[in-house]
Structures are given as structure tokens and as C-alpha cells.
């Protein structure tokens, strides 16, 4: 499992660059004389679908192609960028106030009163910080082993290092079931959900969710 995870890590670290690169050259080549007039509309329809983005969600195809186009306008050598960067350093190099404005990037989050997703911030620096944060650890949550003999019962106690992003609890539950089956004892995971401390306990088959005290709660936002 460890070897396989390391094998896929380069793809995780360059997903935006890879998808953007493909979209950039796909568009450039097919609109530079390869297609005839009767095919352009079909291509445009297909391409717009691939690069569409919903409110509060980032599409790596859309973000990637916008970054390459922005880089080209700024006079960057695209092939040098492609060789030298991963997603994190690529965004760090290129995302600026102009890019955030033209790409209509905002920070989204839930309104505590209405429960609806809405724009929380338009500051490009905050947007960039959130984008970089979301790419940390290859986009995966950071889970720390706290105790391998929890309460003297040989059970695992895990802590999610919360950085403003809540876990997808359904996915976390599936992962805990697999870990518990391998460990052959209960596994506990402490995390935050919408600012509230939660503990997930799994015996390999069922998941129990209970309240837990977890310091450092902060609001969850999304860039998009």
C-alpha cells in the first residue's frame, strides 16, 4: 500500500498542471486549422463542458488552462514552467490579483444563519492562501497516530490535523473500517465537523460518532 501510494503521488502533485496542459494544447491545436468550420461548434461544446465549474468548486481542467493562458500573457516559458513546477509551486508562482479577478475566484463558505453556500471573501491573497492550503499533503487529510494502546486496550487513537477543511465523514468511515479490520481492534478518529469536535469509533463493521473536545476550531471555507 505504501509503495502504491508513493507511485501515485506525482500524479496527485501535478493534477492541475496535467489537466490544464492537456486542455491548453487541445484547444490551441484544434482551433488552429485542424478542424473545419462544421466541427468547431462541436469541439467548443465538448471543451466548455470539460472546463465548466460550479459555484464553490474548482475544476482542475479550468484552473489549469486559465493558469497556462495567464502565464503565456505574462511572457512565461510554458515548457520551463511545466518542467520546473508541481501544482503547489505553479499556483504560488502565477496566482495574483489579476488572475483571481479575471478567473472570478472567491472564497465560499456556509452562512451559519441560512445554511446556504455564499461568497465570504474576495481578497486575492486569502484566495491564494486557501488554494495552496487545499493542495497541501497532495490534497489528502493529515492524520496522526496519537496512541497505539488507547486506554490500555490495544486500540488505535488517530487525530485529524484540522487545517480548516472538514473530513468527508462517509469516506473517513470507510477508511476506518478497513484500518480496524487490519488492526483487529477498535480504531478511534478525532476530528472537527463544522467547528464541533467529533470522535468516530469503528470496530471493523459499524461506526459510532460521539462528541469530543478538539481545540482550534475555525470556519471552513472553499476557494472557487
Domain locations along the chain: 2-138, 141-223
User: pTM for this structure?
Assistant: 0.72
170-222: pLDDT as tens digits: 889 999 999 999 999 999 999 998 888 999 999 999 999 999 877 444 444 45
Q: Which helix (H) or strand (E) holds 84?
A: helix 78-84
**Banded pLDDT at 100 (limits 50, 70, 90):** very high
φ, ψ (nearest 5 deg) of residue 215: -70, 160
CA-CA-CA-CA torsion for 44, 100, 56, 215, nearest 10 degrees?
Answer: 150
C-alpha torsion sign, points 216, 219, 220, 224: negative
pLDDT at residue 76 is higher than 90 = yes
- Provide CB contacts within 8 A for 61, sequence distance 6+: 19, 20, 22, 23, 50, 51
- Closest C-alpha to 207, from 182, 184, 183, 189: 189
Helix and strand totals (H; E) in the chain: 9, 8
Looking at domain 141-223, which of 1.10.10, 3.30.505, 2.60.220, 2.60.40 is its CATH number? Answer: 3.30.505
C-alpha torsion sign, points 76, 78, 84, 88: positive
Q: What cell does 174 get?
A: 470507510
114-125: pLDDT as tens digits: 878 888 889 999
Long-range contacts, 148-153 (Cβ 8 Å, 24+):
150/186, 150/188, 153/185, 153/186
φ, ψ (nearest 5 deg) of residue 80: -65, -45
Residues listed for the chain:
224
Amino acid at each position: 500500500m505504501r509503495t502504491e501510494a508513493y507511485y501515485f503521488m506525482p500524479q496527485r502533485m501535478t493534477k492541475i498542471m496535467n489537466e490544464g496542459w492537456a486542455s491548453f494544447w487541445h484547444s490551441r491545436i484544434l482551433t488552429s486549422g485542424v478542424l473545419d468550420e462544421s466541427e468547431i461548434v462541436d469541439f467548443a461544446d465538448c471543451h466548455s463542458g470539460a472546463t465548466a465549474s460550479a459555484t464553490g468548486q474548482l475544476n482542475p481542467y479550468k484552473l489549469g488552462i486559465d493558469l497556462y493562458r495567464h502565464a503565456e500573457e505574462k511572457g512565461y516559458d510554458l515548457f520551463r514552467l511545466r518542467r520546473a513546477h508541481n501544482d503547489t509551486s505553479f499556483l504560488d508562482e502565477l496566482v495574483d490579483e489579476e488572475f483571481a479577478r479575471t478567473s472570478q475566484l472567491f472564497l465560499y463558505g456556509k452562512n451559519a444563519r441560512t445554511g446556504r453556500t455564499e461568497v465570504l471573501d474576495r481578497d486575492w491573497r486569502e484566495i491564494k492562501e486557501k488554494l495552496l492550503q487545499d493542495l497541501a499533503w497532495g490534497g489528502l487529510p493529515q492524520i496522526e497516530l496519537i496512541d497505539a494502546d488507547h486506554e490500555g486496550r490495544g486500540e488505535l487513537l488517530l487525530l485529524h490535523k484540522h487545517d480548516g477543511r472538514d473530513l468527508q465523514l462517509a469516506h473517513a468511515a470507510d477508511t476506518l473500517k478497513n484500518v480496524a479490520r487490519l488492526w483487529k481492534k477498535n480504531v478511534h478518529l478525532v476530528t472537527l465537523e463544522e467547528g464541533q469536535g467529533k470522535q468516530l469509533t469503528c470496530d471493523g463493521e459499524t461506526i459510532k460518532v460521539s462528541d469530543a473536545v478538539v481545540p482550534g476550531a475555525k470556519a471552513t471555507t472553499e476557494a472557487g
